Amino acid sequence: MIVSSPKAKYFNTTGPCDPRLHYMLPPAPRLPEARTLIEMDRYFVLHAPRQTGKTTILDTLASDLTADGDTAALAFSCERAKAAGDDYGAAESLLLDSLREAADLSGWPKKLLPPGAWPQVTPGSRFGAALSAWCRRSPRRVVLFLDEIDALQGNSLVSILSQLRDGHNKRSKGYPFPASMVLCGLRDLRDYKVASGGDPTRFSLASPFNIIADSLRLGDFTADQIAELYDQHTQKTGQQFTKDAVDRVFELTQGQPWLVNALAHEITSTMQVTGTITTCQVDDAKERLIRARATHLDALAARLHEPRVKRVLEPIVAGAPYTDRHIIDDLSYARDLGLITQKPPPQVANPIYREVILRVLGDLTEQNIHADPHTFVLPDGRFDLPRLLQEFVVFWREHGEVLIQQEGYHEAACQIILMAFLHRLVNGGGHLDREYAAGTKRLDVLIRWPHTGPDGERLTQREAMELKVWRPGKDDPLPEGLAQLDRYLDRLTLTTGVLVIFDRRPEAPPWKERGSFEQATTPSGRQVTVLRV
């Protein structure tokens, strides 16, 4: 049945993209190497975080290859086989059911379809035998895209990959088997070894993984690609995104495809903005997405207490260095999930994720904050930062010791608690921008507070803070903190700032006595308020 194209398209945030329904970038140019490897009859891995466009690209590649006339290319999902666990016989049955269903939905002529019945062979050989039987009868070379391959676990994963290796290696002897195969999922090849119970550092000659020619990662959108995507909406509706708005989207998302689409969908469909779209609407949409904890962001939040993720993120939030050599595998895992940047130094992948992470980790603290945000607004509309710092001292003396003990991210507890306090009192009328990364020994915060000037003009108050921790056995971090804050203020073109130093030493003052203020000068002469708690 042919479905007519709808009158209006929209930005997609759920499932694969459909060019009849959704604004979307051409999929194939996002991964030009894939076509080359397929034409070379290679087996390879394609990995990227969820909701980045993997399935859309696989479907497009399969359709384009089949349309060329000499290939039968089919994409199907392995997700159902997750339920099989270590039962590799059940996993084979579920995979073959998914393969046949995808073939039946392809609209191919009968001669290209798999055989009506699969070969009856011993479990553990059925998947490979079925692919061979199909290739034997197909008049075209067969190419397969196994989506969600990392749904398979343990013995099931080892069995399927072993069968693929066996068939791949026998092709040189005339054995009918798929000409090319793409294993697609969240994780890189290295992590498949972990999922199957193997040591990722050891690749023996008999390994089912050693037939993989390459491992490709689907990248995020560039700023130009975001502009191209949003321009499709402009061409269709006449509604424009200002260049500053597009730049702000890139700044907030760093091109993460789901976030790029979600912000645009929130603005155009949920908020129903009718005029030109500006940075103001982008910031509003960002805040709405985070508050609503959209599915994608909720899935990210659910990962935060996984041991492997915590071992990566806790030093990032605390600004601490990595000292365990085994962290390399955890960093690779976090990169494959899209949580952190691809290149060192490790930091959270984008500002929206940075905000979500600190908000989720600070949920417990926020439940204990009873101050009214409205009382921190001065008569002239500006934000009363000195009063906020005084109120935080009271809060820290009363709740800090208990909250630190209850915080799962113990090494980053001070930063998380202050961030939760700031968020509770600032985010109602202003914005918080946070910067943190492993090894920096600090967390930087910028408060942006919009208000109306005496002549009715729109102004933005900006206040910069830096958070440091005085740890046991270390020197007072004041000199280092002043130098670091100096550089931060210089970048922001601000003349004053706040340095907060948390004392985590055993010899620190009693909790009821913490919270002293002093004035200090940075190396370049800027005046800084220092709060020691």
Complete DSSP assignment for 260-289: HHHHHHIIIIIS---S-B-HHHHHHHHHHH
**Calpha distance 361→423 (Å, rounded):** 12
- Positions of the chain with pLDDT under 70: 1-7, 189-213
Which alpha helices (DSSP H) does 443-514 contain, by range?
478-492
> What is the pTM for the complete model shown?
0.88
Produce one character per residue of 31-51: b if its CB has 16 or more CB atoms within 10 Å, e if not.
Answer: beebeebbeeebbbbbbbbbb
H or E segment at 20?
none
CA angle in degrees (0–180, nearest 5) for 486-420-289? 105
How far is C-alpha 385 from the chain's CA centre?
A: 32
**SS3 state at 102:** helix
Q: What is the pLDDT of residue 194?
A: 46
How far is C-alpha 519 from the chain's CA centre?
A: 40
DSSP letter at 239?
-
User: Closest Cα to residue 496, out of 522, 526, 531?
Assistant: 526
Domain boundaries, the chain: 26-217, 366-532
pLDDT for 162-214, tens place per residue? 999 999 999 999 999 999 999 998 877 555 554 444 444 433 433 445 566 67
The sign one gets for the Cα dihedral 171, 174, 179, 183 is: negative
Q: With contact defined as beta carbons under 8 Å apart, do 443 and 436 qualify? A: yes
**Calpha distance 516→397 (Å, rounded):** 12
CA angle in degrees (0–180, nearest 5) for 54-58-64? 145
Q: CB-based burial of residue 344 (10 Å sphere; 0-12 exposed, 13-18 middle, 19+ buried)?
A: exposed
Q: Any idea how long the chain is?
A: 533
User: Closest Cα to residue 100, out of 61, 63, 64, 127?
Assistant: 127
Q: And the tokens for 153?
A: 């676990």
Mention every residue, 6+ apart, whose C-beta is less than 8 A from residue 251. 351
C-alpha distances (whole Å) from 180 to each of 24, 72, 165, 167, 278 are 27, 11, 12, 11, 46
Q: What is the pLDDT of residue 466?
A: 97
**Calpha distance 228→257 (Å, rounded):** 13
pLDDT for 367-425, tens place per residue? 899 989 999 999 999 999 999 999 999 999 999 999 998 878 999 999 999 999 999 99
How far is C-alpha 60 from the chain's CA centre?
A: 24
| φ, ψ for residue 384, nearest 5 deg | -90, 85
H or E segment at 501?
strand 496-503
Pick the CATH number of 26-217 from 3.40.190.10, 3.40.50.300, 3.30.70.330, 3.30.70.270: 3.40.50.300
H or E segment at 231?
helix 223-237
**Calpha distance 142→21 (Å, rounded):** 29
Q: What is the pLDDT of residue 212?
A: 65
Give me the residues paired with residue 158 across strands: none
Q: With contact defined as beta carbons under 8 Å apart, do 206 and 240 qualify? A: no
